[in-house]
């Protein structure tokens, strides 16, 4: 009997976190789940190419092509997820805020990685380099990444894992972003996915 949980990864850009998940799956770090589907809101996202190279099914759902309708966008997402019998949804650099209607359809089934130690530098408007710019401007000595469940509040769901990364004197937002990815995001995201999948088994 096939007992692994079916995972969908939602992406918008280059897909470095997706690659970390694919690598972790290949190494057996993720063994209680399998990435079955990668969905992007952008047809030109390089993450889709990464998925194809790994023989993972891909799909594109564009809010723009649906007339900017959040409801139509989320309905299309839900249909795709249901058709592919998805158990777990991983947001890996997915740049669309999901409504309460969507998140409440999948309680404790959607996880996201955020590039700071929540509750610092999180919530609406805090994404990408902005998070690292804010950390440096504030002068904190330690930052990191957080994997959390997704609910109706941006970055407001229950924390699954965190990992700290020290800030260096000469850091720029770009160098800090790269180091947080390498030392924190790419490590705790696969471990969190395995933890959530194994707990659902």
Q: How high is the pLDDT of residue 3?
A: 84
Residue 153: per-residue pLDDT: 92
Q: What's the confidence (pLDDT) of residue 20?
A: 98
Report d(CA 68, CA 14) in Å as an integer: 23
What distances in angstroms separate CA 155 from CA 47, 111, 189, one per listed residue? Answer: 22, 10, 15
CA 93 to chain centre: 5
Q: DSSP readout, 5-72?
A: EEEEEEESS--HHHHHHHHHHHTTSS-SEEEEEEEESSTT-HHHHHHHHTT-EEEE--TTTTTT-HHH
Residue 39: partners with Cβ closer than 8 Å, 6 or more residues away: 8, 9, 10, 11, 58, 59, 60, 61, 77, 80
The pTM (predicted TM-score) of the whole model is 0.95
What is the CATH code for 5-200?
Answer: 3.40.50.170
Which pLDDT does position 198 carry in this prediction?
A: 96
Distances from the Cα of 3 to the Cα of 84, 87, 106, 116, angstroms = 15, 11, 19, 33
Q: What is the pLDDT along the chain (201 residues), one digit of tens a residue?
A: 468 999 999 999 999 999 999 999 999 999 999 999 999 999 999 999 999 999 999 999 999 999 999 999 999 999 999 999 999 999 999 999 899 999 999 999 999 999 999 999 999 899 999 999 999 999 999 999 999 999 999 999 999 999 999 999 999 999 999 999 999 999 999 999 999 999 998
Residue with tokens 């401007």: 137
Residues designated catalytic: 114
Strand ranges, E, within 157-198? 159-166
């Amino acid at each position: 009997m096939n007992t692994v949980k079916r995972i969908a990864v939602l992406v918008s850009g280059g897909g470095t976190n997706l690659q970390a998940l694919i690598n972790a799956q290949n190494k057996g770090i993720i063994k209680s789940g399998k990435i079955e589907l990668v969905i992007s809101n952008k047809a030109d996202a390089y993450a889709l190419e990464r998925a194809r190279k790994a023989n993972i099914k891909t799909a594109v759902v564009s809010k723009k092509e649906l007339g900017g309708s959040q409801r139509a966008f989320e309905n299309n997402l839900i249909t795709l997820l249901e058709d592919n019998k998805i158990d777990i949804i991983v947001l890996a650099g997915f740049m669309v805020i999901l409504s309460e209607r969507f998140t409440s359809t999948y309680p404790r089934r959607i996880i996201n990685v955020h590039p700071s130690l929540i509750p610092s530098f999180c919530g609406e408007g805090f994404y990408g380099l902005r998070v690292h710019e804010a950390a440096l401007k504030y002068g904190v000595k330690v930052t990191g990444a957080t994997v959390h469940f997704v609910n109706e509040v941006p970055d407001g769901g229950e924390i699954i894992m965190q990992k700290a990364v020290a800030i260096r004197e000469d850091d720029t937002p770009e160098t800090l972003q790269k180091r947080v990815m390498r030392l924190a995001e790419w490590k705790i995201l696969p471990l969190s996915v395995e933890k959530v999948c194994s707990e659902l088994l």
